[in-house]
Amino acid sequence: MSIVEFEDRNSMVKSLVSQHGKYAEIGVLAGEFSKDLYSILKPTELILIDLFEGDTGSGDQDGNNFKMYNLNRCYLDIAAHYKANPEVIMIKGTAWRL
């Protein structure tokens, strides 16, 4: 079995996932990767799932570039970004309830 390495996660998505399907992202945070998924995959449905409550922080795998986020604000910003896109569905909560 050979290991395939990708330059980044967008390259991986382009290579492994077909366009125009139904997809879900669990753990959306501020929605940066959601925008990439939407642009790359041109989905018929994109479900974005996150708690979207409270404050949290995130950084890269080495702990650098740490930033704090208010998830309530993230929800409002993402909802405003996709308001004209009915194929994008936002769910506040945990994925296990679906």
* 3-state class (DSSP) for residue 89: strand
Q: Which of 54, 61, 50, 55 is nearest to 26 (CA)?
A: 50
What pLDDT digit, counting tens, does each position of 12-53 carry?
A: 999 999 999 999 999 999 999 999 999 999 999 999 999 999
d(CA 34, CA 28): 7
Strand partners, 43: none
**Strands 88-92, 22-26: pairing kind:** unpaired
pLDDT at 63: 75
Q: How high is the pLDDT of residue 83?
A: 97
